[in-house]
A and B are shown apart, each in its own frame.
Chain A
Amino acid sequence: MNLDVRLPAEAALALLPEILLVAGALAVLLVNGWRHRTPADSRLAGWIALVSLVPSGAALAWLWISGARSVAPFMVGVDGFRFAALALILVATAATIGLSLGYLEREGLIAPEYYSLVLFAASGMMFMAGAEDLIVLFLGLEVMSVSVYVLAGFNRGDRFSGEAALKYFLMGAFASAFLLYGIALLWGATGTTTLTDIGRRFEAGPVPGFGLIGTGLLLIGMGFKIASVPFHMWAPDAYDGAPTPVTALMATGVKVAGVVALARVLVEAFPATAFTWQPIVAALAIGSMVLGNLVALAQRPLKRMLAYSSIAHAGYLLVALWPGSRLGLSAVLVYLAAYVLTSLAAFGILGVLGRGGERDVTLDSIAGLARPRPWLAFALSVCMLSLLGIPGTFGFVGKWAILAAVIQERHYALAIVLVVTTLVSAGYYLPVVMAAYMREPASADSHAGAGLPRPAIVVVAAAVTLVLLFGVLPSGALSTAMASIPW
């Protein structure tokens, strides 16, 4: 289906998922105006938010299945790459809301505006992931970031939550400044902020040297957002202090938006200067994989360990971005899908293990989980093995896709760093499995009450099932990813 985006009505059709999501967020906000006092009000807001994802998802499905294309240049991409990213963002958002329903109540947070913030953050992610123009990219990033800053500090009574929000905000503001300065320099060098036009200018001939500086600043800004080394400093504290469902959103939705936006920028605006950014991306990737994995080894609290491991996974994703090829971009999508599903389940489980604060959940607190809670232990183990990349899980398919993409370009060094650091990561993923199955619980009732609330059960069970299903039958996911690459 071709959309003539020069007509307002058809442009609105192309943006239907975003528009419907923002409408849902506003509806939640409206309901909050009257009902914001009791836990039931909070639950109601959560359910409205969850339901409001449905029209957005339906619109997305319609656009995707009908193969919507734009006949004219547009500020937002109308292609499979955007649709796939939007689908992942919607899944992450729905799961975050599902996990929050029980979590907020347990933590005594009666604050229905939480859910509208989640939806606003999601809409920002969606704009960011589709941005064909640096201005849209920046707007999407700010909408997303500001919402997530607030969400990170949502547990007002907890000073770690406040610390997380403040650190995230300050570093995020820095990153935004870098990004904005980069955009300004690029505009100065090329006279445009549209990605494809920038690409044409770079291709046509030499651009002023500060255009390259602009590229670098842009990379730094995006590097902050996806938490790649050396711009990762904020991530562990922010992940650690934020309420766990928010951490799940930061690890999944924010990462999808950042990586997909970065991919679009690199492929559309800078294909001609690949020789300048490829070494930078490779360096960022190697740094993230090595540092993320090594430091994760030393973490005792599981939440912090997962925070560092998410830095490592950003590194794997950068490896997939490095070739800039169709195969590499499809690997980005596959790996993101695997990582999103696995992380959602992992953080969801972590959320229920931490009665009295997930920050204190260590290996000792999950010792012997398998006996009283066999399904929980099984789900947790599947998550760890998928993050590690064991065959039979979706995580392995993602890793294989990345390896296939870099090895096709004969970049063996990146591939070797990837597998060696994967081996290092076994050193912290396996002890989780080991603690759950092979150690004795500290006391007889140490896992009493570690049950998941019902919405969270659905989220975790669905995510784990999909991780296993796509692990065994990845064909559909792979060909969808491949077909989604428009370049």
Chain B
Amino acid sequence: MTGFLASIGYSGWILHGLLALPLLGAIPVLLAPVAAARRIALAVSLAEFLLSVGLWWALDTEPGTLQLTASVPWISAWGISYAVGIDGISLMMVLLTTLLMPLCIVGSWRYITERERGYYALLLVLLTGVIGVFIATDLFLFYVFWEVMLIPMYFIIGMWGGRNRLYAAIKFFLFTMAGSLLMLIAIVGLAWVVAARTGTLSFAYQHLLQHADLAGELAPWFFGAFALAFAIKVPVFPLHTWLPDAHVEAPTAGSVILASVLLKMGAYGFIRFAIPFFPTVAIAPVITNAVLVLAVIGIIYGALVAMVQTDIKKLVAYSSVSHLGFVMLGIWAATMQSIQGAIMIMIAHGFSTGALFFLVGMLYERRHTREISAFGGIARVVPGFSLVFSIVALSSIGLPGLNGFIGEFLVLLGAMRTQPLAAILATSGVVFAAAYLLWALQRIIYNRLEPENASLPDLSRRELVVLVPLLLGIVWLGLYPNPVLRRIEPATTRYLERVRGQFGPLDYSQAASDHRLAAGYRLTTPDPRLPAKP
């Protein structure tokens, strides 16, 4: 595989290709006859996925640094370049995005019946924007993608959403923009502060990362601005209020993209930018404690609110608040396992919650209601649907053997060593997750069969095409997560070195024991670069 990829010069053009293809693909979608629009969009997104799969082999994740980097001056007067690069963490996010997009397009096949050309073109533009966020290595470029991605999402919610779509769309837009505008000040401020001391005005990620400690007394403010933007996106309690509105009102594909990919941009931002830039601020006790409190509140509050929802889509939306709380806990527990676990949750949540939103959408297409009380006993009528729904729900709960378990287990394991109280409190979130999802499952597919549900059709072939890849992912990540863990580990190690290195040289015995614990779980040989514990 690697030989073939090398022969076509894959690593030279792939990142640019991934950015350009959907954007260019949107043009024929807009110009084509309405009936062909979705086919072209599907073809483009499939091509994008197939192209991106090569990254799995082409990327040398071992050094843990950004790979396949390229940089072309863009606005040279301000030291701005078009610069991209990718490491193990962004690789997973990119692959998750490219995998979900064709599924979203197939999932919208019947649901979107008007203004189809615009819809599919916007999905493709969104794809470019999201990939851009994950691979940009120039802060100006990153900011541009971060903001530009808002526009297609805003239109998707506002034009094809549910009854309250206008309110949800503008709320989503304003919340995200509020955070990102302050981040813009921090980006410009950081660049100027660095330029004043080093003499080079540059927005390149590596340059700023190297000199970010020059921010001095401004560091807490800059960190705050970055953190606010990312916390709104994650979302961290109490900044989550845009999420239920946007997720519930968006069309199915919009909800899937929002939950599976867009939320991850927040957590990714913390791991890539906010914390590595200002580690001394980020893991200062007061910040750590504040984040942990909010994360635990998010986990428990999200779960409890999910439990009392009568609308299935709202239930799934609030479950995201809870799951992303685990991600925040994992990041701030700052151990090898907890961070790997956080990234695993980000991936697993993409699969499980994406699948849940698809399933909810399928129910809605059949009955035009999402009220849990409207259903019941449908396992007898639609056994296929019920089986898939059960598996996905169990994976979201975190059943061992399915994908949800790995991440949550690693986060709790890692957090138990540094933040035991938070870990113990967070564990209750797993229990609540079981409660709200199993209860919902019981009320929807078991209980007494209502007569109006007696003639529901089971999963169609098209719906299976959407669900089977997700199911395969759920089982694969649950049973054999090693290939993924192996690819994110070096980047995670570097991240930890950066974060802990602020307090003198890295304590290798600590890292090594971290490593052994993770390795013990992974059943692979430890990293030879780390000295063995005496």
Contacts and interface: CB of A to CB of B under 8 A. Distances in A.
B148 A437 contact: no
A437 B178 contact: no
A470 to B, nearest CB: 11
30 contacts: A385-B151, A390-B148, A390-B150, A392-B144, A400-B184, A400-B188, A404-B78, A407-B188, A407-B189, A412-B185, A416-B185, A419-B181, A419-B184, A423-B177, A426-B174, A427-B170, A427-B174, A430-B170, A430-B173, A434-B158, A437-B155, A437-B158, A437-B159, A438-B166, A438-B169, A439-B166, A474-B75, A475-B75, A475-B76, A482-B77
B185 A419 contact: yes
A400 B80 CA distance: 12
B174 A407 contact: no
Contacts of B185: 403, 407, 412, 415-416, 419
Contacts of B155: 437-438
A416 B182 contact: yes
A420 B68 CA distance: 37
Contacts of A422: 181
B175 to A, nearest CB: 10
A252 B173 CA distance: 29
A256 to B, nearest CB: 22
Contacts of B174: 423, 426-427
B409 interface: no
A391 interface: yes
Interface string B211-237: 000000000010000000000000000
A273 interface: no
B74 interface: yes
Given A437-B158, A438-B166, A478-B77, 8 more contacts: A391-B143, A391-B148, A396-B147, A404-B188, A423-B174, A423-B177, A427-B174, A478-B75
A415 B222 CA distance: 13
A408 interface: yes
B166 A434 contact: yes
B19 to A, nearest CB: 13
B38 interface: no
A482 B201 CA distance: 16
A486 B150 CA distance: 39
Contacts of B159: 437-438
Interface in B118-171: 143-144, 147-148, 150-151, 154-155, 158-159, 165-166, 169-170
A2 interface: no
Interface residues of B, number: 31
A407 B151 CA distance: 27
A474 B77 CA distance: 10
Contacts of A475: 74-77
A427 B178 CA distance: 12
A438 B75 CA distance: 35
Given A390-B147, A390-B151, A434-B158, A412 B189 contact: yes
A269 B184 CA distance: 34
A479 interface: yes
B58 to A, nearest CB: 29
Interface residues of A, number: 31
B117 to A, nearest CB: 10
Interface in A113-138: none
B169 A434 contact: yes
Contacts of A430: 154, 170, 173
Contacts of B111: none
A475 B177 CA distance: 25
B192 interface: yes
A438 B78 CA distance: 38
Nearest to B76: A475
B76 to A, nearest CB: 7
Contacts of B150: 390
Contact of B178 (A412, A423, A474): A423
Interface string A365-390: 00000000000000000000100001
Interface of A: 385, 390-392, 396, 400, 403-404, 407-408, 410, 412, 415-416, 419-420, 422-423, 426-427, 430-431, 434, 437-439, 474-475, 478-479, 482
A479 B177 contact: no
A434 B182 CA distance: 25
A306 B155 CA distance: 23
Nearest to A431: B170
Interface of B: 74-78, 143-144, 147-148, 150-151, 154-155, 158-159, 165-166, 169-170, 173-174, 177-178, 181-182, 184-185, 188-189, 192, 221
A478 B178 contact: no
B119 to A, nearest CB: 12
A426 B143 contact: no
Contacts of A419: 181-182, 184-185
Contacts of B173: 426, 430
B251 to A, nearest CB: 13
A478 B182 contact: no
Of B76, B147, B181, B185, chain A has the most CB atoms within 10 Å of the CB of B181
B484 to A, nearest CB: 32
A356 B20 CA distance: 45
A438 B173 CA distance: 15
Contacts of B221: 412
B126 to A, nearest CB: 14
- What 10 A-B pairs come out closest when comparing CB atoms? A419-B181, A391-B144, A438-B158, A391-B147, A407-B188, A475-B75, A415-B185, A478-B77, A407-B189, A408-B192
Q: Which of B75, B147, B150 has the most CB of A within 10 A?
A: B75
Contacts of B76: 475
A407 B461 CA distance: 57
B158 A407 contact: no
Contacts of A390: 147-148, 150-151
B229 to A, nearest CB: 11
A331 to B, nearest CB: 11
Contacts of A426: 173-174, 177
Q: Which of B169, B178, B185, B192 has the most CB of A within 10 A?
A: B185
A86 to B, nearest CB: 23
Among A407, A410, A415, A420, find the residue whose CB has the most chain B CB atoms closer than 10 A. A407
A451 B147 CA distance: 32
Contact of B192 (A407, A431, A479): A407
Contacts of B151: 385, 390
Nearest to A416: B185
Contacts of B165: 438
A474 B75 CA distance: 7
A340 to B, nearest CB: 21
Contacts of A400: 184, 188
Most A CB contacts (10 A, CB to CB) among B78, B143, B155, B166 go to: B78
Contacts of A391: 143-144, 147-148
Contacts of A410: 192
A25 to B, nearest CB: 38
Contacts of B74: 475
Contacts of A416: 182, 185
Nearest to A482: B77
A478 B80 CA distance: 12
A478 B140 CA distance: 15
Given A392-B148, A434-B166, A438-B165, A423 B189 contact: no
Given A419-B182, A426-B173, A403 B77 contact: no
Nearest to A404: B188
A403 B166 contact: no
Contacts of B166: 434, 438-439
A217 to B, nearest CB: 34
B276 to A, nearest CB: 22
A420 B184 CA distance: 12
Contacts of B169: 434, 438
A408 B190 CA distance: 10
A479 B77 contact: yes
B5 to A, nearest CB: 31
Nearest to B74: A475
A274 B188 CA distance: 24
